[in-house]
Structure 1
Amino acid sequence: MRPLLALLTTLALLACSPQPQKADPALWKVEGSSGETAWLFGTIHSAERPLAWRTPAVGRALDTADTVMVEVANLADEADVAATFARLARSEGQPPLSSRIAAPQRPALAALLKSTGYGDGDFAAMDTWAAALTLARSGADDDAARNGVDRAVIAAAGERPVVELEGAKEQLGLFDTLPESEQRDLLAAVVKEAASSDTDLADSWRKGDMAAIEKETRKGLLADPELREVLFTGRNRRWTGRIVEAMKAGNMPFVAVGAAHMAGPQGLPAMLAARGYTVTRVE
C-alpha cells in the first residue's frame, strides 16, 4: 500500500534541516537495436525538504533527452487537479463511512476520523475510494508535495515537451472504476496504516535500493491480485507501450515516474527488457 499512496497521494520524508537532502536514486538506460534510447528514473512524489536528486548521471541523461515523460504533467496546477478529484469523487447518498468498513476496524477508523477532524457522516456525498484518499492526505503538508521530484523534473524540462503517461483524470479514474468491494479494501488499508510513520520506503528511494522497494510492492493492498493488476501491473503495461511508441517515433524520452513502478519483474525496466530492449542500471 505504501508505494501506491506514494504514487497517487503523498509520502513524507521526515527531516528537520532545511538543506537539500542528498539522494542517489535509481536510473536506467534503455537501448533498442535500431538506436532507440530512453532513460527510466524512479521518483518520489513528496518530501519535507528539497532533495538533491540531480546526480551527475541523472543530469546527463536529462540533458540528453529530447522529451520528458511523467505520470501527470500539470502537478503545479493544484486547482485543476483538485477540481478533477472533486468531479470524480462526488457520489450522493453514500452511507456513513463506518458502515463501509469491517466491524473490527471501526475503532481504528473512529480514531482516524477524530485525529483528522472529520465525522462519520462527512463523506455522504463521496465515493469510498475518494474518502480513503482524503483521509490518507489529511494533515499532509502541501509544501512537501511541492518538493516532489516529479515537479522538479518537469521544471527542468525547460522548452522540451512534457508528455503525460496518464494524467490526473485517468489516474484518479483508476480508483473511480474500482468495484465497491475493492474501494473498501483501500479504505481498510488506509485506516490500518494511519498510525504508521514508516519511512523505510523513503530511505530506500534515497539509496536507490530497488530490492527493498520491490518488497514493499508485494505488501498490503498490492498483494490483492485484482487491485495489483488495475493499479500497478496494468499501468506499467500501458506505460511500457507508450514509451516504446515514443522511441519508435524517434524520440529520446526521460521517463520520470514513481520508483515503485521500476521495481521487480512487473516493473518498467523488466517489461521493456521483455520487449527486446537492452535495459541497463546506470545508477
Structure 2
Amino acid sequence: MNLRLSLTGLLGALLLAGCSDRPGEPASEPASYPVLWELTNAEGEIEGWLFGTIHALPDGVQWRSAVLDEAVAAADVLAVEVAALDDGVKLGELFTRLAFDGSSGASGPPGPLAARVDPALAEQYQELLTTAKVRRSHFDAMETWAAALTLAQVAQQAKAENGVDRALIRDFAGREIVEFEGAETQLRIFDDLPETEQRDLLNAVIGETEDYERDIGKLARVWQAGDAEQLSELTGEGILADPELYEALLAGRNRAWAAQLENLLSARAKPFVAVGAAHMFGADGLPALMEARGYTVRRIQ
C-alpha cells in the first residue's frame, strides 16, 4: 500500500495519494489537517517547523489551515527536497540522461524490461503498458529504476501541479529557498541502487498498481487526518520493509537532512521544512532525529 510513501516527487510520482476518493472531485472542508511540528531550543524559543508533504494532488484539495499559514508567514527560509519543480524541461533532460547512461548497478545492456519483471506480475505490467499507450519494448533501453519511476507516474492520477511543495515554493517567493538534495542528487540515489534493489523497486511499483484505486482514498484520509500512528506504520511496510531500500530511500537521506537542518538552525534563520511525509515518521524520521540533536519537537497541528 505504501509505495506512494516512499517514491521521489520528481516526475509526479507520489509520496502519498491525493486527498479525494476520486481524482478531480472537490473536497469538503476537512475536519482535521496534516501533521505540523514546531521546533524549539533549550530556552523554549521557536527555531522552525516540520511539515510532511505530498507531491501531487487532485483539484480542489483543501490542506491549508490557519496554524500552517501562521508558520509559513513567520518562517525566514523554506527547505525542500528539490526547488526547481516547475522546470519540466530541465528535469526531463536530467532524467533522460541518467535513465539511459548505463551507469547504474546493472552490468551490461539492461535487456527487455519484461525479463526484469516478476513473472507473477506480467499481467499487471501489460496493463500499465496499455495505460501508457506504449509498445512492449518501450522501456527496454531504460535502466530499471527509471522504468519504475516512469511506471509509477503512469499509475498515479493526481496532478503534480497541485503538489504541496509547489504551493509552498510559491508562498516563499521573495524569501530564501534551500534544497536538501536537488534534482540530480535525488535521482542519483535511485541510479546508484544495485540492480537487485532496482528490480525490487520496479516490481513494487507494478504490484501496487492493482490496489491503487482501493488504497488512494485511505491513504489520503490518513494523511489529511494527521494520523501519525498509521503514517508511521506505513513507512515500515511494502517496499520500505526491504532494509537496503529503506536505508537508501529514507533513513540515510533523513540523517543527511537532519545535519543540514541543524546548520540552518545555527544560522538563526527560522526554516519551514517541507519534505515528503514518509520522512517525518518513525524512529528515523526528521522529528525523532532532531529531538536526538537536542531540540524540542512539538506537534502543533
* TM-score, L = length of structure 1: 0.93
Indicate the SS of the match to 1:25: coil
Structure 1, unpaired ranges of 5+: none
Partner Cα distance (2:190, 2:142) in 1 = 13
Indicate the SS of the match to 1:94: coil
2:288 maps to 1:270: yes
> Which structure 2 residues correspond to residues 61-140 of structure 1 after superposition, within 5 A?
61-91=71-101, 93-138=109-154, 140=156
The offset of 1:15, in angstroms, is 4.2
Query: In the alignment, which residue of structure 1 is the partner of 2:207?
Result: 192
Work out whether residues 94 and 123 of structure 1, in 8 Å CA contact, stay in contact via their aligned partners in 2: no
User: Aligned to 1:27, which of 24, 30, 36?
Assistant: 36
2:184 maps to 1:169: yes
User: Aligned to 1:156, which of 171, 177, 195?
Assistant: 171
The offset of 1:28, in angstroms, is 0.5
Work out whether residues 77 and 177 of structure 2, in 8 Å CA contact, stay in contact via their aligned partners in 1: yes
Work out whether residues 25 and 60 of structure 2, in 8 Å CA contact, stay in contact via their aligned partners in 1: no
2:249 maps to 1:231: yes
Work out whether residues 36 and 247 of structure 1, in 8 Å CA contact, stay in contact via their aligned partners in 2: no
Work out whether residues 36 and 248 of structure 1, in 8 Å CA contact, stay in contact via their aligned partners in 2: no
Q: What are the superposed Cα offsets for residues 108-158 of structure 1, whole Å, 9 maximum, x if unpaired?
A: 3233323322333212321000011111111645x7111111111110012
The offset of 1:18, in angstroms, is 4.1
Q: Which amino acid aligns with 1:2?
A: R
Q: Which amino acid aligns with 1:65?
A: A
Indicate the SS of the match to 2:178: strand
Partner Cα distance (1:209, 1:139) in 2 = 25
Partner Cα distance (1:182, 1:227) in 2 = 7
Higher mean C-alpha deviation, range 34-43 or range 178-187: 34-43
Q: Which amino acid aligns with 2:147?
A: A
Partner Cα distance (1:129, 1:262) in 2 = 24
The offset of 1:179, in angstroms, is 0.3
Partner Cα distance (1:61, 1:116) in 2 = 40
RMSD: 1.9
Change (3 A) 1:6 1:204: farther
- Identity rate of aligned residues, in percent? 43
User: Aligned to 1:201, which of 193, 215, 219?
Assistant: 219
Query: In the alignment, which residue of structure 1 is the partner of 2:4?
Result: 2
Q: What are the superposed Cα offsets for residues 176-223 of structure 1, whole Å, 9 maximum, x if unpaired?
A: 000000000011101101122212221111111111111111111100
Structure 2, unpaired ranges of 5+: 103-108
Work out whether residues 21 and 49 of structure 1, in 8 Å CA contact, stay in contact via their aligned partners in 2: no
Partner Cα distance (2:84, 2:35) in 1 = 24
Higher mean C-alpha deviation, range 175-184 or range 83-92: 83-92
Partner Cα distance (2:253, 2:41) in 1 = 22
2:61 maps to 1:43: no
